[in-house]
Structure 1
Amino acid sequence: MKRVLSSAVMMMMAFTLLLSACGKSNNSPSDANASKGTNAPTANTEKQAEEKVTLQMGSWRTEDKAVYEKLIAEFNKKYPNIKIEFAPTKNTEYNTVLNTALQTGGGPDIIHLRPYAAGIGLGTAGYIEPITGLAGLDTFSKDVLAAATGPDGTVYGVPMALNIVAVMYNKDIFEKYSLKEPATWAEMLQTAETLKSNKVTPFAFGSKDGWIMSLTQGAIGPSGYGGSAFAAQLESGEKKFTDPAYVKSIQLMKDLTPYFPDKFTGIGADDMRTLFVTGQAAMYVMGDFDAAVVRSQNPDLKFDVFAVPPQEAGGQPTVTSYVDGSYAVNANSKHKEEAKKFLEFATTKEFGQLFSTEMNRVSPVPGVEVAEPLVAKYAELANTISTPYIILKSFNQGNPTSKATLENAMQGLYLDKNTVDQVAAELQTNVDTWFKP
C-alpha cells in the first residue's frame, strides 16, 4: 500500500530522524575508514575494472565476519582485482555511525541497508545509488524487493536475507516435564506455569533493548489481532492501533510478565540469549537469524521451534517474517561500478546457497535449499503461516518513528508507567502525525 506524507516538509522531517536516530534491529565502519569513497566514478569504467581497487563493506552483523570473508573469497574467483574489506559496527551503533559518515561525504562503498523506511529514506535523499535494472534483480519477487524500493519504484538494494520469528524451545526441558509444543495460547500459558512451578524460567526475555519490544510484539501480537488480514486493514487505514484487536495484542505481551526472568527490565538481547543457551530459560521468542549463534555458544543444546499459537483451538498459528536488509552502493563511492559487481553476485543462486549454508539462514534467492534443520523448519513455517512484521514494514516512519514510539511505550508498560490502552493510544497518536492512507 502506498503511504504518502502530507507535505514535502513532513518528508524531510522523517528523513532528518533517519539521520539522527539509531534504529535497532540486529549490526559501520570505523571512523578511520568511514571517509572512503568521496568522488564520482572515473569516466573510463573499463580501465577501472582492470585496476586493483579496495572497497569497504559496512554492516551491523559483527558476528558474520568469518562468513563474509568466505563470500568475498568466492566473489574474488571471478573478480580478483576487486578487494572487499568487511568492516562491521556494533548493531546498536550502526545507524548513527553510517548516517554521520554519509552526511559528511564518506561511508563504506557497499552498505548493508536497513530494511523498509529506514533504508529507503537514505535512498530517496540521494545517499544510496539507484540500482533499478541491475543484472539479476528480476530474480526477486516484488514483495521482497519492497524492503528497498522507493515510492517512485526506484530500487536501492539487493535483498540480503529473510528473517522469521517464532518460539525456540529447549527440547530436554520440555521432555523432562512431559511438555509438548502448545497448540493454543492457553496451552502455552499452561506450559509456562508448569515450568515456573518447577523453578525454570519460562521465557528468556528482557525489556532493556527497544528493538526486542517491537520484535517480540510483532511475533506475539498476531495471535491477538489475527495476523495478515488485520495488518492489511492497518495499512489501508480501515483499522487503527486503538482497535480492540490490536489492544488485545499488547495485553498478551503484558500477560506474559509472570513468566519472565527476575529483573527482566534490565535484561538486554545478549543476556536473553544467554539464559536460553545455558538452559536457565525454556522458551525464547526470536528469529531464525539467532539459531546459529545459539548453536555456536552451546553445540550440545537440543532445541526446536514452534509457531506462536492461536487464541482458540483450530485457529491459525503464525510466524512473523520480514526482509533483513539489503546490499546497497554508496552514491558517493568512487568505485560504484565495482561495488555493483558484488551486488550482481548477490543475486545469484551460487551466492544465495553459500550464504544460506554458511550463515544457516534463509536466503531470499529463489531455489536455495536450507541445510540446517531448525532453520529449514522456520522456512517451512513461513511458507504456510507467515504474517508481516507490520510495525517495521509499514509504520517505521514519523518523528520519532511509530516503531520507536511503540518500543518506548512498551518499555514503560513493563515499568508500570503505562497501561495497555495508553500504549495503543500513544502509538496511534504518533501514527496520525504522518500516516495518510
Structure 2
Amino acid sequence: MAIQRSTPWTTPRNRHIARLALAMSAAMFIGACGGGSGASADKVRLTMWTWSNEATTAFKKAGIIDAFEKANPGIDLEVVAQLDKNYETLLTTGLAGSQSPDIVALRSYGVLSSFADSGDIVPLDDVVKDWSGFSKPALAGAKGKTSGKYFAVPQGIQTAQVYYNKKIFADLGLGVPASWDEFLKAAQKIKESGVAPVVIPGAVAAQISLAAEILGNARRGAGDFEQAFLEGGKNLTDPDNVAAIGLLEQIQPYLVDNVTSVTLDEAVTLFATGRAAMFPSGAWQVTTFANLGAEIDYGTFDVPVNPDWPSKAVTVSYADGGWALAKRSAHPAEAGVLLNWLAGAEFANLYANAMGTIPARDGVTLKNPRLAEMYQRYQSAPSTYLGAAYLRYGSPSGTDLLGEQVQKMWLGETDPAGAAKSVQTGIEAWFRPADFQ
C-alpha cells in the first residue's frame, strides 16, 4: 500500500525553482487578486493571504474585519484564500512580485522558518509591541530557526487527543480509561461487541504520525524526553521511544479492518457514524463534526498512563500557524497596525471562537464546551508534538518517516525497534540538535 506523504516546503532552492517555473502564470494570477493597493483616496487597503477558506469565512462573517476597520478607520482589510494544496508555491511567487500581499498566513515551524531564511518575510520583534500574552508553545512556532527572531503573530494552538463515542461506551458499561491497560481492556470489550474499537487514517503518513504522538508522547517521557532529545542526550532509538512506537503495535488488533488503506475522510466518517468507537486526532475535528451535522455524542480524553511510565498524562499540542509581514508590502506601517491588532485579545477571542481552535494567547473565553475542556487540559499538562515542532525542517521529514514505518509495522515488515532506527537514520541527513538550542 503506497502511503500518502506530505509535501513540506523546506528549502530556499525549491522556492527559487518555483519562482522560475510559475513566474508568468502567477503574474496574471496576482494581478487579478491585487494586493497593497489603496481602497480609496484617503484609505489604505491591506491584503492578507491565507490557505484556509474557513479562516476567510471567519474574518468576513464573524465580525473580525468589521472590528478591525472600526478600530482603524483609515485601513480596509481584504482576506483572500488561496488554493490549500499549492499555497506555499503560490506564496513564493506572490511574495517575490511587485503586487505582493501585505500579510500572509504561514504554517508554523519548518515552513515559517524557510520563508524567514529566504528574506521574503521580515522579523516582527520590533513591529509587534507586546508578546507577553502568548503561550510559550505558540511563540516557539513563530520563530525562525536560523535567527531565533519572531516572524509571525501566532494564530492558534492545535491539541491532539482521543475522541470517543459516549453512547458506545455507556452501552458497554465503560468509563474513560484511567490507565493504558484499561484502554486496551476497553478496546477488547468494544471489539467483542462488533464495533471497531479504534480508527486511524492508516493511508496517510502525517495522520499516522499524529496518532503515534497522541498515544505515545507520555510513554516516551513527554517534556523530559524532548529536552534530552534537543540536548543530544537521547535520540529516537532510545528504549522509551521504541516503547512508545510499540503502543501502535499493541493496538493493532483493535484497529478498523484494512487500516493501511483508510484515508482521513474515511476515518472521520467511520467515527461520526458510530462504526468506530475511538479516534485519535486533532482539535479541528470538533468543527469537522459540527459541519457534518453528525448526530454523535462524543467526548475526548488524553491517553492515560500506566504507573511505570516516565510521564503523567499530557495533552499533545503544537503551534498552528501565524500571520507574517511580507517584505515587499506596499504599506508596512499599516500592516504593522494590523499585526498589533492580531496580537491582541479582541482578535484572539473572535478568531478562536469562529475557527473552533485553541487560542495562542491568554484572555480568551471559548464558547464551545468541548473545546473549552480541551483548552483546560492543555493548560494543565501541555506536551509538544515532537514531529511537528522539530522534525519537519528537512527532507525526509520525521513525520513522513514515522508514518511509513508504522504502516510497515502493521504489515509485519518491521518492529518498533526497527521503525525507530529507520526514522532516526532518515532525519540524520539534516537534523542537528544544536540547531534548536
Q: Normalising by the residue count of structure 1, what TM-score does the alignment of the two structures yield?
A: 0.85
The corresponding residue for 1:4 is none
What's the offset of the Cα at 1:81?
Answer: 5.1
AA partner of residue 255 (structure 2) = F
What's the offset of the Cα at 1:248?
Answer: 1.2
Structure 2 counterpart of 1:338, from 331, 334, 339: 334
Alignment of 1:210-289 (within 5 A): 210-289=205-284
The corresponding residue for 2:368 is 372
Gaps of 5+ in 1: 1-11, 22-29
The corresponding residue for 2:23 is none
Alignment of 1:264-413 (within 5 A): 264-298=259-293, 300-312=295-307, 316-413=312-409
Deviates more, 1:174-183 or 1:403-412: 403-412
What's the offset of the Cα at 1:236?
Answer: 0.9
AA partner of residue 403 (structure 1) = T
Q: Check the 8 A contact 1:20/1:99 in 2, yes or no.
A: no
Deviates more, 1:12-21 or 1:124-133: 12-21
Deviations 1:76-123 (A, max 9, x none): 222355443333345444334434544667664321111112212211
CA shift in 2, pair 1:51/1:132, >3 Å: farther
What's the offset of the Cα at 1:171?
Answer: 1.0
**What fraction of aligned residue pairs are identical, expressed as a percent?**
27
Q: Distance between the aligned counterparts of 1:163 and 1:348, measured in 2?
A: 19
Residue 152 in 1 paired to residue 147 in 2? yes
- Matched position secondary structure for 2:335: helix
The corresponding residue for 1:78 is 71
Alignment of 1:91-110 (within 5 A): 91-102=84-95, 108-110=101-103
Q: Distance between the aligned counterparts of 1:18 and 1:217, measured in 2?
A: 31
The corresponding residue for 2:48 is 57
Gaps of 5+ in 2: 1-8, 19-25
CA shift in 2, pair 1:32/1:287, >3 Å: farther
Aligned length: 413
The corresponding residue for 1:112 is 105
Q: Check the 8 A contact 1:170/1:303 in 2, yes or no.
A: yes
Residue 186 in 1 paired to residue 181 in 2? yes
Q: Normalising by the residue count of structure 2, what TM-score does the alignment of the two structures yield?
A: 0.85
Q: Distance between the aligned counterparts of 1:418 and 1:94, measured in 2?
A: 35
The corresponding residue for 2:133 is 139
CA shift in 2, pair 1:88/1:266, >3 Å: farther
CA shift in 2, pair 1:267/1:340, >3 Å: farther
Q: Check the 8 A contact 1:166/1:285 in 2, yes or no.
A: yes
Q: Check the 8 A contact 1:57/1:85 in 2, yes or no.
A: yes
What's the offset of the Cα at 1:178?
Answer: 0.9
Question: What RMSD, in angstroms, separates the aligned Cα atoms of the two structures?
Answer: 3.0
- Matched position secondary structure for 2:427: helix
- Matched position secondary structure for 1:56: strand
What's the offset of the Cα at 1:265?
Answer: 1.8
Deviates more, 1:245-254 or 1:64-73: 64-73
